[in-house]
A and B are shown apart, each in its own frame.
Chain A
Amino acid sequence: MSAIETGSAAPITTQPGTRRKRRLRDRDGMLGSAMLLPAVAYLIFFVGYPLVLAIMYAFSNVTVGSSKFDFVGLQTFSTAIHDPNFPGVVAHTFIITGISQAIVIVLCTVLAFVLAADFHGKWFVRFLVLMPWTTPVALGAIIWLWMLDSIFTPFDWFAQHLGILGPGGHLNMLGHAGLATGSVIAVQAWRTLPLATVIVLAGLSSIPRDIEEQSEVDGAGFWRRLFGIQLPMLAPIILVALLFGIVFTFSDMAVVFILTGGGPGDATQVLASWAFYKGINGGNLSVGAADALFMFPVLLGLAAVVLTMASRRRGD
């Protein structure tokens, strides 16, 4: 009898508590939604809505001059794909992104280790390393445009002194398809290296110091510690750095637009710059939108990687 009494008494005493807690949680949820709403609404209007419009444009025949808007199915995509330049544009986009980010992933890891160490003049080195990132892309590209000038580039002077070029010879870096592509790759690597380094540095600073010290005490050498402990622990954050780098390089039009104008010929044209030339300069919004939309599958894939990483971390 007493057992039953206590058994039934227990829920009675806890019930108001849980109810209040649930009510509090509901209220938190309501407040939370209200606080989230403005930011989410803003993003829906200024990112979600234009994204939907971009997709609609690509299935229509909309141009800059007219307000005519007819759905034409896949015709615009077909026009975009059958442009003789299109396969090259896609290829350049992947080549420039792939090679520049392969370089960045190696350099940023090394540079992060350098900046994590103590040395004299570190403040100044860090300042120089940050510069390519803090210079607006367009102005950074202008500096390179001058540095790679067909006549007054300092690289010609170096090459002449090293005997690669005869006296008065010119490399004309931006005049040859291969060298121009290499130049775009160099600028993209140069400007994305600082952010990648900072991200890896963040990862490096979160590795517990005692793990490293313990392994040092255990007699693991530098390379053993690097490949056995540090790099595996850094791998997820290096992936984050790589994702940022790929998104910024893959979708950038400023470097190509300023440095090469897509040239020589259309040898360095990428999807983003091509979309601008077609959509704004050419006045054909729908074809431009379709060209830009070809970036979407890759970006969607990257988003999927982010989602997988996020859910895996929650699973841990």
Chain B
Amino acid sequence: MAGGRQIRTIRGRISIYLLAFFFAVICGFPFLWATLTAFKQDPDLYSTGHNPFAFTMSPTLDNITTLFTNTPYLQFILNSVIIGLVATAITLVLSIPAAYALARLTGRWGIPVAIGIFVVYLVPPTLLFLPMSRIITVLGLQDSIWSLIVVYPGFTIPLSVWLLVGFFRSVPPDIEEQAQVDGYTRIGAMVRVVLPLITPGLFTVVVFSFTLTMQDFIYALAFVSSSSNMTISVGVPTNLVRGDVFFWQSLMASAIIVAVPIALVYNIFLRKFIQGFTLGAVKG
């Protein structure tokens, strides 16, 4: 990343820039289109013949204002944030001890458990959502944000444990041994000495668990039916599409408003994520 490879030849440099441009266009073009759309007035948007990338009428903020004043978009964001935060908190509480145990305490018999936990990550929500909707009903959580809060750790815990095992292993065991000599218990040493050392790792796990919960569509679609409890992923398509009428500008704005901040945070944490991934996956 920073301090990447220096490309020395001219031909190499030109290829890097051409390829970077190519990938920026492939990945970014839909967002360019969405951003232009979000600021267009209806007559400008729904006309053909002219360059669709140009504004024939002055750009407007109405579509974005509508999103916040005439739809429960803020409520969707709030729901997604609450669900994401609580689910992430559950994830941390359960995966920190589990990952520490796998990194330090369990020795050889921990290996199959670690693999088992990772394999859980390969069981997709689309396979589980039908029986899960029954379980949610039995628990009395249907049409509540709690239904999503309790099911999301099912896929955030495996990823978090995997990343955290790597971060715990990167701390030399001598540090805890010294802390135990100084009178801390095992758990005391973990909480007071080791956790502060892996704070960047914890942040990474928080960021990735949180955003993973934002990705879900099928659980949110199957369990929640009233607008006031919907997440962004389900609330936006169900509330901004009325029958055959798509409020395209507001739809595009709703996507951009969510995607940009997350991408910024990801960009900042990417190096840590890569480090965690390398520790967990590559070194094993």
Q: State how many angstroms separate the Cβ of A130 from the closest Cβ of chain B.
A: 5
Whether A53 pairs with B252 at a CB distance below 8 angstroms is: no
Whether A307 pairs with B52 at a CB distance below 8 angstroms is: no
Give me 19 A-to-B residue pairs in the complex whose CB atoms sit less than 8 angstroms apart, sorted by A's number: A42-B90, A42-B157, A46-B153, A49-B135, A111-B23, A119-B16, A127-B264, A128-B27, A130-B266, A134-B263, A136-B217, A137-B215, A138-B237, A168-B49, A201-B1, A206-B282, A206-B283, A237-B281, A253-B218
Neighbouring B residues of A288 by C-beta, 8 Å: 130
Whether A152 pairs with B45 at a CB distance below 8 angstroms is: yes
Cβ-defined partner of B126 (8 Å) among A156, A222, A251: A251
Interface positions, chain A 173-207, Cβ under 8 Å from B, are 190, 193-194, 198-199, 201-203, 205-206
- Besides A38-B94, A51-B131, 11 new A-B residue pairs in contact (Cβ under 8 A), listed by A number: A29-B105, A32-B110, A39-B157, A47-B120, A119-B17, A128-B28, A130-B267, A134-B263, A237-B281, A252-B126, A280-B133
Whether A119 pairs with B98 at a CB distance below 8 angstroms is: no
Neighbouring A residues of B254 by C-beta, 8 Å: 139
Given A42-B157, A50-B128, A117 and B274 touching (CB < 8 A)?
no
Stretch at the interface among A6-14, A79-87, A295-303: A295-303
Query: Taking each of A202, A206, A243, which has the highest tally of chain B beta carbons within 10 Å of its own beta carbon?
Result: A202
How extensive is the interface on chain A, given as a class? Answer: 35 or more
Whether A132 pairs with B27 at a CB distance below 8 angstroms is: yes
Neighbouring A residues of B123 by C-beta, 8 Å: 47, 51, 299
Neighbouring A residues of B203 by C-beta, 8 Å: none
| Main secondary structure on B side of the interface with A | helix
A131 at the interface (CB under 8 A from B): yes
B95 at the interface (CB under 8 A from A): yes
B245 at the interface (CB under 8 A from A): no
Q: State how many angstroms separate the Cβ of A66 from the closest Cβ of chain B.
A: 12
Whether A143 pairs with B252 at a CB distance below 8 angstroms is: yes
A276 at the interface (CB under 8 A from B): yes
Chain B 235-260, CB-CB to A under 8 Å as 1, else 0, gives 01100000000101001101100111
How extensive is the interface on chain B, given as a class? Answer: 35 or more
Given A53-B131, A190-B27, A35 and B101 touching (CB < 8 A)?
yes
Neighbouring B residues of A280 by C-beta, 8 Å: 130, 133, 222
Neighbouring A residues of B27 by C-beta, 8 Å: 128-129, 131-132, 190, 193-194
Neighbouring A residues of B100 by C-beta, 8 Å: 35
Which of chain B's residues has its CB closest to A41's CB? B94
Given A118-B7, A130-B270, A146-B246, A51 and B128 touching (CB < 8 A)?
yes
| CA gap between A35 and B258 in the complex, in Å | 36
B171 at the interface (CB under 8 A from A): no
Neighbouring A residues of B211 by C-beta, 8 Å: 134
Whether A314 pairs with B111 at a CB distance below 8 angstroms is: yes
Cβ-defined partner of A135 (8 Å) among B157, B255, B282: B255
B117 at the interface (CB under 8 A from A): yes
Whether A143 pairs with B270 at a CB distance below 8 angstroms is: no
Interface positions, chain B 156-213, Cβ under 8 Å from A, are 157-158, 161, 186-187, 211
| Main secondary structure on A side of the interface with B | helix
| Top 9 A-B pairs, shortest CB-CB distance | A32-B105, A251-B124, A53-B131, A35-B97, A39-B98, A128-B28, A272-B126, A139-B255, A254-B217
Neighbouring A residues of B221 by C-beta, 8 Å: 257, 276
B122 at the interface (CB under 8 A from A): yes
Whether B52 pairs with A142 at a CB distance below 8 angstroms is: no
Whether A54 pairs with B127 at a CB distance below 8 angstroms is: yes
A229 at the interface (CB under 8 A from B): no
Whether A142 pairs with B259 at a CB distance below 8 angstroms is: no
Neighbouring A residues of B284 by C-beta, 8 Å: 310, 313-314
Given A129-B23, A136-B217, A139-B233, A306 and B5 touching (CB < 8 A)?
no
A110 at the interface (CB under 8 A from B): yes
Given A129-B27, A139-B254, A292-B130, A247 and B122 touching (CB < 8 A)?
yes
| CA gap between A295 and B132 in the complex, in Å | 17
Q: State how many angstroms separate the Cβ of A4 from the closest Cβ of chain B.
A: 36
A3 at the interface (CB under 8 A from B): no
Interface positions, chain A 200-251, Cβ under 8 Å from B, are 201-203, 205-206, 222, 237, 240, 243, 247, 250-251
A40 at the interface (CB under 8 A from B): yes
| CA gap between A306 and B154 in the complex, in Å | 19
